[in-house]
């Protein structure tokens, strides 16, 4: 494909998720990719991958070249108490840029622990965690912005390369919720889902994204710790709140089949 015919995509946050996403987008041959980091040390790594590198601090104005794109993918995690204000500032800059479509990575922490299956309409400000409330507020900012179209992806717990689930609860003691179902999604599915949204031009939507199977917490994390060779967690009989994340809407809309449908099976690979 001619360079002139390629769409321009900027990935805000070339980290654990953004970097493999950017590489996969380049592999398609249909896009030119810009990517951001917060440190100069990562610039060479990004450039060597065929990505135009930018250093970006959300506390400051975004370099104009980074927002000279058709699509912006935001993978930056909420790492500070000022995250909401920084995203609000970013949205103001997007409105005056060339960006026409946005993919915003959110989280399933927007759902209360209802003990039930959680679908997209179940998100709630009142009973969510603090981080969930923040992410819901940010989602609403994007959703109500009329100058560009945003698709919001609520990812479950992330695992994959360099994020082995055996480390999540390693050697922790007296944990509650032993029988709770686990909500996880593999990095490869995250990347493929974002790619599918872009390819299918599926804009203005909100989707959950979580593996089909929900193994039992005690069984899964004990096995994960043993697989990795670290101390296994211990559990009490005390119950705790939970939810079961449903990805049925996403699977129907995109015709998507999870590559890692059962996190328990991944422990055997």
**CB distance 182 to 157 below 8 Å:** yes
List, for residues 16-53, the tens digit of each pLDDT value: 999 999 999 999 999 999 999 999 999 999 999 999 99
List, for residues 137-191, the tens digit of each pLDDT value: 999 999 998 889 999 999 999 999 999 999 999 999 999 999 999 999 999 999 9
Pick the residue with more confidence: 122 or 82? 122
- Report the run of H or E that residue 7 belongs to, with start and end: strand 7-12
**CB distance 263 to 182 below 8 Å:** yes
**CB distance 222 to 233 below 8 Å:** yes
**Residues near 51 by beta carbon (within 8 Å), at least 6 away in sequence:** 11, 14, 22, 23, 26, 33, 34, 35
24 closest CA partner among 42, 9, 4, 40? 9
**CB distance 214 to 243 below 8 Å:** no
Q: Answer positive or negative: Cα dihedral of 102, 107, 112, 117.
A: positive
pLDDT for the residue numbered 127: 64
Question: What φ, ψ does residue 111 adopt, rounded to 5°?
Answer: -100, 140
Please say if the pLDDT value at position 233 is more than 90. Answer: yes
List, for residues 94-143, the tens digit of each pLDDT value: 999 999 999 999 999 999 999 999 999 999 887 667 789 999 999 999 99
pLDDT for the residue numbered 80: 60
Domains of the chain by start residue, with CATH: 3-159+185-210+245-260 (3.40.50.720)
**Is residue 81 classed exposed, middle or buried when 0-12, 13-18 and 19+ CB atoms within 10 A define those classes?**
exposed
């Amino acid at each position: 494909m001619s360079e002139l015919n390629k769409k321009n995509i900027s990935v805000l946050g070339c980290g654990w998720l953004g970097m493999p996403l950017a590489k996969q987008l380049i592999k398609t041959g249909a896009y030119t990719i810009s990517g951001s980091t917060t440190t100069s040390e990562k610039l060479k790594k990004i450039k060597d991958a065929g990505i135009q590198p930018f250093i970006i601090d959300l506390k400051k104005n975004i370099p104009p070249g980074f927002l000279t794109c058709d699509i912006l993918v935001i993978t930056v995690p909420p790492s500070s108490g000022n995250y909401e204000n920084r995203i609000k500032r970013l949205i103001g800059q997007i409105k005056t840029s060339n960006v026409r479509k946005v993919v915003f990575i959110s989280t399933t922490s927007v759902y209360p622990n209802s003990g039930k299956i959680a679908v997209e309409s179940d998100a709630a400000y009142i009973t969510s965690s603090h981080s969930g409330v923040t992410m819901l507020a940010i989602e609403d900012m994007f959703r109500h912005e009329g100058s560009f179209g945003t698709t919001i992806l609520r990812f479950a717990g992330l695992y994959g390369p360099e994020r082995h689930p055996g480390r999540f609860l390693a050697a922790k003691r007296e944990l509650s919720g032993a029988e709770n179902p686990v909500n996880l999604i593999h990095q490869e599915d995250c990347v493929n889902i974002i790619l599918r949204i872009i390819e299918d031009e599926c804009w203005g939507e909100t989707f959950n994204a979580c593996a089909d199977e929900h193994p039992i917490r005690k069984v899964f994390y004990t096995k994960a710790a043993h697989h990795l060779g670290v101390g296994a967690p211990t559990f009490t009989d005390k119950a705790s709140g939970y939810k079961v994340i449903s990805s049925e809407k996403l699977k129907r809309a995109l015709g998507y089949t999870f590559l890692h449908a059962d996190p328990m099976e991944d422990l055997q690979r």
